[in-house]
Chains A and B, each alone.
Chain A
Amino acid sequence: MKILTTNYISCAVKACKSTSLSFPLHFQDAVLVQEEVDFKPEFITNILPRIEWEALKITAVELGFTTLPAQKPEATEEAPLDPQVLKDLHTLLLETQVTEGKLVCANCKHVYNIHQGIANFLLPNHLALPLIMITNF
């Protein structure tokens, strides 16, 4: 699971979605690998405005990356982003992967497992949406 993906993951429990505690999920016992991916500066430049920076900072610290800028780097017409900043983001967001570990919701405390790089978000029956809620409308 890539770090970019974690910026787009919340708790799967419907009732958690309305609370800010369900995003981002929190890592435990994460095992990381680096895997080379083609660097495309324009792609990273366009991804950057879409990132929830505060959530990314939380995730980065949990995984041991402490060099992320406090403020999201922003490009302007006169001052495009420093290529090194883009390269560092590329490395963090796309090349760094969590292969084993857990993701925990701070609201309901549910634990989602990551195994061989694949996170499993299927809910046990008692947390899944009650049948009545989606059949009665």
Chain B
Amino acid sequence: MDINNPQNYEAEHVHRVYELIASHFSATRFKPWPIVEGFLKGLPIGSIGLDLGCGNGKYLTVNENVFMIGSDRSTALVQIAHDLKTQDSLIADTLELPHPDSRFDFAISIAVIHHFSTTARRIASIRSILATLKPSSNSETNGGKALIYVWALEQPNSKRGWKEGDPQDVMVPWQTSEGYSGVKGGSGKLSKGDKVVTYQRYYHLYREGELVQDIVAAGGIVLESGYERDNWWAICAPPHR
């Protein structure tokens, strides 16, 4: 894929699309992934963290005993997240976060960094996430940690059937009806007779080992990593200081 200006490319093929499909997208997103749920529920009471690329905010309420600030580039999605009341949300870009360094106990980035269109920008986004976390000491117990979750190239059981060796930079269609107005909690399913509109979103599909490699390139320490339902995930910490 030849991308001359990745910022403009992402504005067109990621940000604009989410803005247009926000309500429909949100209606299809309410079940948390088990790894994410486990990570959030395991946090001590009073932990303070970030959900970077929070979308409709479905993870903000998984654990009511921690305080989370969700952020997303899409105003339409943040407006949906903001209705949740118990946590907070704002509009921000993961590469230019409005947060002081080294203050947070945790951060999650779920299905976000695969939308950055170059390796350098994906690594820069991980570096930006790590910078927000409390530095870890050698004991690795008192520092902040981040959970990063990305779409996998290896998806043998998905209907898309991507596998090792396939192209990693792809456009993935999102089908919605013309003038869809999703009611929160609705099914988000299209009904018969709807005029279908297809939007294309850019994704970088991560191959096995690539997420860990990018975290190391960003200076992070990988604590745990694995594969869950067509996604690669890793829990990481900032470098020792």
A contact residues vs B (CB 8 Å cutoff): 1-2, 4-5, 8-14, 17, 22-23, 35, 37, 40, 42-47, 50, 52, 112, 116-123, 128-129, 131, 134-137
Contacts and interface: CB of A to CB of B under 8 A. Distances in A.
Given A8-B100, A10-B98, A119 B48 contact: no
Contacts of A9: 98-100
Nearest to B95: A129
B120 A137 contact: yes
B146 to A, nearest CB: 16
B45 A122 contact: no
B89 A118 contact: yes
Given A117-B82, A119-B91, A10 B46 contact: no
A135 B91 contact: no
A40 B46 CA distance: 10
B14 interface: no
Nearest to A112: B98
Contact of B100 (A13, A17, A42): A17
A131 B96 CA distance: 12
Interface string B86-98: 1011111101111
A4 B96 contact: no
A8 B46 contact: no
Contacts of A47: 46, 48, 67
Contact of A135 (B67, B93, B98, B118): B118
Nearest to A42: B45
Contacts of B7: 128, 131
Interface of B: 5-7, 44-48, 65, 67, 69, 71, 73, 75, 78-79, 82, 85-86, 88-93, 95-101, 103-105, 118, 120-121, 124
Q: 4 tightest CB-CB pairs across the interface, nearest first? A: A46-B46, A121-B98, A12-B98, A121-B92
A121 B71 CA distance: 10
A134 B91 contact: no
Nearest to B7: A131
Contact of B65 (A40, A52, A112, A134): A40
Nearest to B47: A46
B91 A37 contact: no
A81 to B, nearest CB: 13
A37 B75 contact: no
A121 B78 contact: no
Given A8-B104, A37-B86, A118-B78, A131 B48 contact: no
Contacts of B101: 17
A133 B97 CA distance: 16
A129 B96 contact: yes
Contacts of A117: 82
A121 B46 contact: no
Contacts of A46: 44-47
Given A8-B103, A134-B121, A121 B96 contact: yes
A13 B13 CA distance: 25
Given A116-B82, A117-B82, 14 more contacts: A5-B88, A8-B99, A8-B103, A9-B98, A12-B93, A14-B96, A22-B100, A23-B100, A40-B65, A43-B46, A45-B46, A46-B46, A121-B91, A129-B95
B26 to A, nearest CB: 16
A45 B45 CA distance: 10
Contacts of A122: 73, 91-93, 96
